[in-house]
Amino acid sequence: MPNTAAAARLVTPTMVALWLVLATVPLWISKVGLYPYLGVEILIWSMYALAFNLVLGTAGLPSFGHGAYFGVGAYAFGLCQFNLAPNLWICLVAAIAAAGFAGLVVGLFISHRRGIYFAFMTIAFAQIFWTIAIKAYPLTGGEDGLLRIAREPANFGIVAFDLKGNVALYYFVLVLFALVVVALWRLVHSPYGRVLSAIRQSETRAAHLGYNVWLYKLSIFAVSAAFSGLAGGLFAMAQLSAFPDVMSLNQSGLIVMMTLVGGGLVSFWGPVVGVVIFLIARDVIGALTNAWMLYFGLMFVTLVLFRPEGVAGMIKSLLERRALRGQGSNALRLILRSG
């Protein structure tokens, strides 16, 4: 974890630069042969990946069934809209709360474990959630899922924004993305985040120093689930539906792969990089061949073997080596220090 000036800030230059770049995306995305909805997907999955990385990258816990919480968020959003109140804010809160609660319950069962036991438990729970989603037809719509979820307007009292268009939705999600990034950056660089990082490196040592390791693992799992649920709720809204597939182990595996490929094990931004790589691969390479996911999987396996620090990690090492050699501009150094 960089003990740099950036770590102490609430909002870093990298974040601002990223948001500015992201803000311009709808203006040029069609011109490069892509489409605004892709931007929405990138933002939603990035939120999900950043949330997931709290558990994997920061706390060092292998959660292979995180799709469950994303999915719970999506379903909660839809069910809230149909049964409680067709209000955007209420439904998003429902998504966060339901997913966070699911994470808390699962966490109670698994937080005293780590490593292989932990991984298998997360898989088992994901299968349980997925089975319920598929079989509980009256509640979840079974294999078809919940359909006809609507995009309610973002009503701030004095002004309301219609989110039915993808560009409007994009900017709404971008604002939430920015807030999530700020919150997670602070969390990771706070004392709490430092303790989690210590637990990742040595649970034994952390416990013997007086930290209630179980409570830390439980809390981060629940927090991660809650943010994953937020992403899930936004996903349901964007897709206008919620379906079991997002809870499947396949999808859970995708988020693991994206996060690691991007460099989540060593970099805060790794997950975002991974999401961008994955979605671009899906759209660009997917247009050329049906086997694009296979290639992505092979890339994942290769990186795990040879470069587990992922793309962001490789970029970081490259920049560090150049900065050490005195090359590179001040801009490079600025980027480096911003983590």
Partner 1 sequence: MVLIEAKGVHVRFGDRVVLEEIDLSVPEGELHGIMGPNGAGKTTFFNVLTGRVNMSRGRIRLDGEDIAGLSPHAIANKGVARSFQIMTLFDEFSARENVTMALPSFRARGFDVRHALAGDRRIAEEADEVLASVGLGEKSSVVARQLPYGERRALEVAVALAQRPRVLCLDEPTSGLGTDGSRRLAELIRRLKGKLTIVAVEHDMGFLFSLADRISVIHWGQVIARGTPRELQDNEWVKKSNLGRFG
Partner 2 sequence: MLDLLPHIVNGLVLGLLFALIALGFMLIVGLMEQINLAHGSLFALGAYLALQLTGPNPPLPADLAAQWLQLPLGWRYALVLLIAPCLAGIVGIAVEVCMRRTYGKDPLYGLLLTFGAAMVIEEGIRLIWGTRDYVLPVPPMLSGGFIFQDLIWSTYRFYAAGIALAVIGLVWLLIEKTPYGAMIKAGAHDSEMVRALGINLSRLRLGVFVFGTMLAAFAGIILAPIWGIRPHMGVDAVIPAFLIIVLGGVGSFWGAVTAGILVGLAVGLSGAYASEWSLLSMYILLVAVVSVRARGLFGKKSILEA
- Rule CB under 8 A: is residue 55 a binding residue for partner 1? no
Min dist CB 60 to partner 2, Å, is: 7
Q: Is 139 in the site for partner 2 (CB under 8 A)?
A: no
DSSP three-state, residue 161: strand
CB of 207 to partner 1, least distance (A): 4
Q: Does 276 bind partner 1 (CB under 8 A)?
A: no
169 binds partner 1 (CB under 8 A): no
Which residue in this structure is represented by tokens 């090492």?
A: 317
Which does residue 142 bind out of partner 1, partner 2, none, counting CB within 5 to 8 angstroms by kind?
none
Query: C-beta of 176: minimal distance to partner 1 in Å?
Result: 19
> Which residue is listed with tokens 């292989």?
116
CA distance 126 to 247: 7
Using rule CB under 8 A, residue 297 touches partner 2: yes
Size of the site for partner 2 (CB under 8 A): 39
C-alpha 151/C-alpha 235 separation (Å) is 11
Rule CB under 8 A: choose which of 84, 135, 139, 205 binds partner 1: 205
Taking the C-alpha atoms of residue 242 and residue 48, their distance in angstroms, rounded to an integer, is: 16
Contact residue for partner 1 among 24, 202, 302, 317 (CB under 8 A): 202
Q: State yes or no: residue 307 binds partner 2 (CB under 8 A).
A: no
Q: Report how far residue 165's alpha carbon sits from residue 30's, in angstroms, rounded to the nearest whole number.
A: 15
CB atoms within 10 A of CB 99: 32
Nearer to partner 2, 83 or 204 (CB): 204
User: Given the rule CB under 8 A, which of 115-123, 134-142, 191-199, 274-282 is the region that contacts partner 1?
Assistant: 191-199
- Based on the shown chain and the rule CB under 8 A, indicate whether residue 324 belongs to the binding site for partner 1: no
Amino acid residing at 264: G
CA-wise closest residue to 122 among 56, 50, 198, 78: 56
Binding mask 34-73 for partner 2 (x = CB under 8 A): --------------------------x-x-x---------
Structure tokens at 100: 């966070």
315 Cβ contact list (under 8 Å, min separation 6) = 263
- Phi/psi region, residue 142 (left: phi>0; alpha: psi -120 to 50; beta: rest), is left
Binding positions for partner 1, rule: CB under 8 A: 1, 3-5, 7-10, 186-187, 189-195, 197-198, 201-202, 204-213, 216, 219
